[in-house]
Amino acid sequence: MGVDQSDLEIKEKVINQLRGVVDPELGSDIVDLGMVKEVDFKKTGDLHITIALTTAGCPLKAQIQKDVRLRMKNILEITSVKIEWTELTDAERAQTMDRARFNLSQEDVVTQIPRTTKSIMIASGKGGVGKSSVTANIATGLAARGLTVGVLDADIWGFSIPQMLGVDGRLAGNEETKKIVPLIKNVGTGTLKIISMGFLVDENKASLNWRGLILNRAVRHFLEDVEWGDMDYLVIDMPPGTGDVQMGLAKMLPRSDMIVVTTPSKTVQTVATRVASMAQSYYLRIAGVIENMSAFINEEGNYYEIFGTGGGEKLAQELGVPLLGSIPIDPFVSNGSDSGVPVILGEGHAAESLNLIVDEVLAAVPKVNPIDCTAHGTLETSVTISNN
Ligand code: ADP
């Protein structure tokens, strides 16, 4: 009996998706680390994966399982996923560790972003769709939930994060470590650690030549030479589109998730697809889509779909990812940006939607609990999950 070609294709798709699942402790993907032992797909839509962990009872299993489940949702042919867990043998474990060490030595940039920090790139196809507003609000919303959140304003040409977060100042260095120290803003019991080009240049006097010269190095410095310290999340305001800075970031932070911001309009949705395909070619995971400027809601609660309708949902479907939420057109968004108090901390339709979106982000990109897998424990051997 010959091997069915379509089954092979699906198996390949599965392996490709699994390449995006990173063992948070070892910092490499589970395929590369030799932890994926078997992938078996049946015509009925049932997928069976065997994953070997470094240690039985590794608490990171829950994280890996969640990541695998989310990624398998991208493959429409799969209806249920059965994951069987085993443990690497001593010899395999030694090989896996060697591989992880080798990968680390090959990383051309050693970033200061802790391995347990989840980085989320907020991207858009074009400018003006509200990407920076979404970044500022999501970061603030996460901090308001008691988390420590880094904010990297990588929109070098159009930096607006300092203004939106109401933080002004100049970056200074730590004499001892010779690293740049981010500016800090406390939000409730949480903390924002913010880095932006705006803290380095005088907006009105900055010479374009000078900016151009350091542009390619700047983002790299922000990852290499900033004393970020502990963070639950790093939220990155990406420049719009798919230029060198974006690709550089994708390469330097290969374990990032990306959220694509779009508006209901068809043109915006088409250009957003390009950003998504860049992300996919770097094996970044697209965690979801956010639709901004969805509709204007007047005081009587009537909806006016000024920029059309359905663009976010359509893009999410096209990418096979969830629509994390929609934000209406609300003057409080721009007022919040201008006053430096993000709208998410206030009231109104946009604040409500943004708070729901932060909860969705927490579910789609779960925070890593920094626990190691040194303790031996029992191993629950298999789990079956419906893929709907
Ligand atoms: P981008 O980062 O995509 O260029 P910005 O976040 O800077 O976009 O937003 C562009 C402009 O639109 C800003 O003036 C911002 O205040 C405004 N804006 C963004 N989202 C909304 C919204 N939902 N309602 C009203 N104004 C918005």
49-93 pLDDT per residue, tens? 999 998 776 667 888 888 898 888 878 899 999 999 999 999 999
Q: What is the mean pLDDT of residues 180-204?
A: 89
Please report whether residue 375 resides in a domain: no
Residue where one domain finishes, among candidates 47, 81, 105: 105
Q: Tell me: do 80 and 142 sit in the same domain.
A: no
Question: What is the layout of strands, in order, in the sheet containing 382-386?
Answer: 36-41, 46-53, 80-87, 382-386
Please tell me the distance between residue 133's alpha carbon and the centre of ligand 1 in angstroms. 6
Ligand 1, atom nearest to 294 Cα: 23
The residue from 76, 105, 134 where one domain ends is 105
Of 73, 105, 137, the residue that ends a domain is 105
Residues 100 and 127 in one domain: no
Tokens of residue 108, six digits: 């051309």
Q: Which residues contact 311 (CB under 8 A, 6 or more apart)?
A: 262, 263, 264, 265, 266, 268, 269, 291
- Determine the pLDDT at residue 254: 79
The CA distance from 12 to 175, in Å, is 50
Examine the domain organization and report whether 122 and 93 are in the same domain.
no
> Would 287 be classed as within a structural domain?
yes
Q: Quick one: pLDDT at residue 382?
A: 67
Neighbours of 44 (CB within 10 A): 8
Take atom 12 of ligand 1 and give the residue whose Cα is closest. Answer: 130
Q: How large a percentage of the chain has pLDDT more than 70?
A: 88
Residue 325 confidence (pLDDT): 97
**Residue 158 and residue 180: Cα distance in Å, rounded?**
21
Quote the pLDDT of residue 146.
Answer: 97
How large is the average pLDDT for residues 107-129?
86
Q: Which domain holds residue 160?
A: 118-364
Q: How far is the CA of 125 from the centre of ligand 1 (A)?
A: 14
Residues 6+ apart with CB under 8 A from 167: 183, 185, 192, 194, 340
Q: Which two tokens mark 217?
A: 């190095």
User: 97 to each of 53, 83, 101, 255, 330, how far by Cα in Å?
Assistant: 12, 23, 6, 18, 51
Same domain as 237, residue 270: yes
Give distance in angstroms: CA of 263 to centre of ligand 1: 11
Within a domain: 382: no
Residues 178 and 239 in one domain: yes
Nearest atom of ligand 1 to the alpha carbon of 329: 24
Atom of ligand 1 nearest to the CA of 133: 6
Q: What residue's CA is closest to ligand 1, atom 10?
A: 128
Residue 135 alpha carbon, nearest atom of ligand 1: 6
Q: Are residues 100 and 242 in the same domain?
A: no
Integer Cα distance of 333 and 32 in angstroms? 43
Instruction: Specify the ligand 1 atom closest to the Cα of 136.
Output: 6
CA of 279 to the centre of ligand 1 (A): 23
Q: Are residues 45 and 144 in the same domain?
A: no
Per the domain annotation, does 155 fall within a domain?
A: yes
Asked if residue 95 and residue 189 are part of one domain, the reply reads no
List the alpha helices (DSSP H) in 56-190.
61-72, 90-106, 131-144, 161-165
Instruction: Indicate if the pLDDT at residue 41 is higher than 80.
Output: yes
Q: What is the pLDDT of residues 271-326, one digit of tens each?
A: 888 888 888 777 788 899 999 999 888 777 777 777 777 889 999 988 888 999 99
pLDDT over 90 percentage in the chain:
46
CATH assignment of the domain containing 287 = 3.40.50.300
**CA count, 13 A, side-chain hemisphere, 67:** 25
The pLDDT of residue 203 is: 61
Ligand 1 pocket list (CB less than 6 A): 124, 127-133, 160, 292-293, 327, 329-330, 333-334, 337, 350
User: 168 lies in a domain?
Assistant: yes
Ligand 1 centre to CA of 348 (Å) is: 16
- Find the 320 Cα to ligand 1 centroid distance in Å: 26
Contact of 71 with 21, CB cutoff 8 Å = yes
The verdict on residue 21 lying in a domain is yes
In the predicted structure, residue 213 carries a pLDDT above the cut 60:
no
CATH at 80? 3.30.300.130
Instruction: List Cα–Cα distances, 202 to 196, 210, 211, in angstroms.
Output: 12, 12, 11
Nearest residue by C-alpha to atom 19 in ligand 1: 130
The domain tally of the chain equals 2
* CA of 59 relative to ligand 1 center, distance in Å: 40
Q: Taking Cα atoms as reference points, which of 124, 121, 129 lies closest to residue 271? A: 124
Distance from Cα 365 to the centre of ligand 1, integer Å: 24
Task: Say if residue 167 is in the same domain as residue 75.
Answer: no
One domain for residues 60 and 97: yes
Query: 94 with 168, same domain?
Result: no
Model pLDDT, residue 78: 93
**Residue 319: per-residue pLDDT:** 86
119-175 pLDDT, tens digit per residue, is 999 999 989 999 999 999 999 999 999 999 999 999 887 889 999 999 999 888 888
Question: Is 190 contained in some domain?
Answer: yes
Identify the pLDDT of residue 212.
47
Residue 50 lies in a domain: yes
For the ranges 42-46, 321-325, 351-355, the one whose mean pLDDT is highest:
351-355
Output the residue whose Cα is nearest ligand 1's atom 16: 334
Dihedral sign from CA coordinates of 314, 315, 320, 321 = negative
Residue nearest to atom 5 of ligand 1 (CA): 130
Let me know whether 22 and 130 are in one domain: no
